[in-house]
Chains A and B, each alone.
Chain A
Amino acid sequence: MSRRLLFLLPLATLLTMAGFFAWSMVSGRDPASIGSVMVNRPAPPLADVTLGPSGLGGGKPVLVNFFASWCAPCLAEHPLISRLAEREGATVIGVAWKNKPDEARAWLARLGNPYRQLLFDQDGKLALDWGLSGVPETYLVDARGIVRLHYRRAINEHDLKDTILPLLRAGQ
């Protein structure tokens, strides 16, 4: 009997593998996503800005948006960031990454500045602490100073409606 079971082993292996494949396809997993180790951890220091209960958000969630004036997806994302800041009342901190301050300021002067506070990370040190892989990336830090969301791309309408706004409202 045990000999028979041995001959069933290849089939069992296949079925297990196929289960994983099917699961992977129906779960809507994005294989290109590299995930983030920042989520559910305390937000790293952000220059002299304090986050958390007694920080800039004043007990409300804060968005941290890394951008650069030379980055096309940032340009595309800008209206959504502006909408968050102006219409939805979110506190957004902007970090200009590997960007000359005057170029970043000129860019914001032209398009409008949605940021409560603007920081410059010309040498990329903040980006290292925050685990950035490029721009644009957006973090949502909750009222207790814990990172809740990390987008490694430009945010879109769906992210705003389905994920960001509910979290912002829940935090108020």
Chain B
Amino acid sequence: MIPELGHFALILALAVAAVQGSLPLLGAARDDIRLMQLGRYAALTQAFLVILAFLALVEAFVTSDFSVMLVADNSHSAKPLLYKITGVWGNHEGSMLLWALILSLFGAAVAIFGNNLPDTLRARVLAIQALIGVGFLAFILFTSNPFARLAAPPFDGNGLNPLLQDPGLAFHPPILYLGYVGFSVTYSFAIAALLEGRVDVAWARWVRPWTLAAWCFLTLGIALGSWWAYYILGWGGFWFWDPVENASLMPWLAGTALLHSAIVVEKRDALQSWTVLLAILAFSLSLLGTFLVRSGVLTSVHAFAQDPARGMFILAFLLVVTGGGLALYAWRAPQLQPGGLFQPLSREGALILNNLLLCTLAATVLLGTLYPLVLDLVSGDKVSVGPPFFNITFVPVALALFAALCVGPFLSWKRAELWRALARLRAAFAIAVIAMVVTATAIDGRATLAAVAFGFGVWLIAGSLTEFVGRVRQTRRLPPRAMIGMTISHAALGLVVLGAVSTAAWHTELITTLRAGEGVKFGRYIATLGKVEPLKGPNYDAERATIVLTLDGAPFATMTPERRLFTVQQRQIAETSIHTNLLRDLYATLGEGDARHGWTVRLYENPLAPWIWLGAALCALGGFVSLSDRRLRVGAPRRKAQEQPAE
């Protein structure tokens, strides 16, 4: 009964979305306030209905209702409650429903918090948001119905992919989707602005908090995914340039570019058409990611059931959303009037450079991701594009971006003096060079590129702090939160760089076979395998090894990696044991083995590895701090915008 109610709610939501996607547009065109107002109520109703549908599916998973096909295929009665709930989005149908849920929640948020928007703009934004919703809801209902029943329910389910039974991954999809889907609001704003034919300072202020919120969630989502890959895949790596990782990185890069170009629109009334294009692209790249994962066009670790019919639907949807957006852009954008003039060497110029570099990075990732596909279709050659390609194409451009990043905030609007800005960065520059030289000589003479990149990481932190301190000294008080947020995010990027470079270039790795009681030298430590004992989990059997690390004869750390055999799926998963002191990770995994031949043990020492995720979390935190700025608060801008149309 409840699954049918959920299904029905979803059908109703589709109908409501269709209304919301059409009548308010008509109202905006005819200046009919009642039709425009309809959008608000429809958005709230639609969100309510999708919440109902989602809860109905959660109920089916929690009560293990195996007459629902999705539950039978992806859940099991012996699974812990947390994973019964997260199992809702651990599969294609459920994750699409989560997409639709977040989409409708963002629509409702615009309806609730968008009181300051002009009526026509809000009506159009809500209508575009609803049209995206129509696509997703139709996709779910016609190709991926999560509520389909089984005629003969099994006694128990097939269980969830063991790799997904992990707290890190439980929350990775919802947060990542908050980012992906958050860009839908930005997209809707862009389309609405093109329809209105107006992209101005006020528009930039309205759209910026939504972009920033989506960007923060996307940052967190990517970081969670990378953290999960780090400790569950057991290879000690944190980024693999897998198509799906790339798919999440591209909208992030475009979104980052958008955040910066929107500043130029807001402050200087310039770059309008470029900013609108980025707003369309950020969401389009999110959709592209969804398409790549679910169509089976590329292989990836994210193995959702792949179905060509679904692939075609998403491709058609991608074409309508992106193609429609870009066609409207090609038609309307040439009419946008560019505003404030500026010299190439200015804050505007620096932000354009930022945009160029970020877009180059996004294009590089896109090229690397799609190249195997294109080459296969054109010439039949099979290639795989991996880290070597990205190391030589992505890294240099990223370094150029980092070099410019610290200088930008020192340049003034309209026209700036480069030498004066650089002079203020003398100390930061000296610190970075020293760090570079020290790492190149003292730590590792061979990895020159790593030492250079390390220096850039230090430069980011030192440069950002220099700017902050200089600002505080000048004004004798704390800068606005938007500026504090910027400093945090920029410096945090430096932490990520330091962590990534150190882990990639200077990790120690040992793969060996040990019998119980045997020891082996590992870096500065002696690692001794203690006992390996069987262990019974809720839905798995495990072997847990005790590995004691001693440093100069004194016990230093005890690590307990496990190898879990999930009984339902008969799949083995390595449970990594990580011992961290925030400056380095000691990382151990247990492989195959038995008492007679010994066990395969992998040990890693990853210097500064925790900084990767700490940095990413701080980066997102910077965004949230910036978001809390009064000026950006969703309720505040109208008054401001009226008082001072341009600064």
* A11 at interface, CB cutoff 8 A: yes
Chain A residue contacts of B326, Cβ below 8 A: 10-11, 14
Residue among A14, A18, A21 having the largest count of chain B Cβ atoms under 10 Å: A21
Task: Please tell me the number of chain B residues within 8 Å of chain A, measured between CB atoms.
Answer: 34
Q: Within residues 317 to 347 of chain B, which ones have a CB less than 8 A from any CB in chain A?
A: 318-319, 322-323, 326-327, 329-330, 333-334
* B299 at interface, CB cutoff 8 A: yes
* B12 at interface, CB cutoff 8 A: no
Which segment, of B376-384, B398-406, B587-595, faces chain A? B376-384
Question: A33 CA to B330 CA in the complex, in Å?
Answer: 39
Chain A residue contacts of B322, Cβ below 8 A: 14
Interface string of B347-382 (1 = CB under 8 A from A): 000000000000000000000001001101100111
Instruction: Let me know if B334 and A33 touch, CB within 8 A.
Output: no
Question: A14 CA to B285 CA in the complex, in Å?
Answer: 11
Interface string of A49-66 (1 = CB under 8 A from B): 000000000000000000
Q: How far is the CB of B188 from chain A (nearest CB, A)?
A: 18
Given A18-B323, A32-B299: A24 and B377 interface contact (C-beta under 8 Å): yes
Question: Interface size class for chain A?
Answer: 20 to 34
Instruction: Let me know if A35 and B381 touch, CB within 8 A.
Output: yes
Instruction: Let me know if B315 and A20 touch, CB within 8 A.
Output: no
Instruction: Let me know if A21 and B381 touch, CB within 8 A.
Output: no
Given A7-B330, A11-B327, A11-B330: A25 and B297 interface contact (C-beta under 8 Å): yes
Instruction: Let me know if A20 and B330 touch, CB within 8 A.
Output: no
Instruction: Let me know if A18 and B330 touch, CB within 8 A.
Output: no
Question: A34 CA to B296 CA in the complex, in Å?
Answer: 15
- Once A and B bind, how many residue pairs between them come within 8 Å at the CB atom? 69
Chain B residue contacts of A7, Cβ below 8 A: 273, 329-330, 333-334
Chain A residue contacts of B298, Cβ below 8 A: 31
Chain A residue contacts of B297, Cβ below 8 A: 21, 24-25, 31
* B489 at interface, CB cutoff 8 A: no
Instruction: Let me know if B296 and A31 touch, CB within 8 A.
Output: yes
Chain B residue nearest in CB terms to A16:
B374
Chain A residue nearest in CB terms to B309:
A25
Instruction: Let me know if A18 and B315 touch, CB within 8 A.
Output: yes
Q: How far is the CB of B334 from chain A (nearest CB, A)?
A: 5
Instruction: Let me know if B312 and A20 touch, CB within 8 A.
Output: no
Given A24-B377, A29-B376, A34-B382: A14 and B370 interface contact (C-beta under 8 Å): no
| Contact surface of A with B, Cβ cutoff 8 Å | 3-4, 7-8, 10-11, 14-15, 17-18, 20-25, 27, 29, 31-35
11 sample A-B contacts, Cβ–Cβ < 8 Å, listed by A number: A14-B319, A14-B323, A17-B370, A18-B315, A18-B319, A21-B291, A24-B373, A24-B377, A29-B377, A34-B382, A34-B384
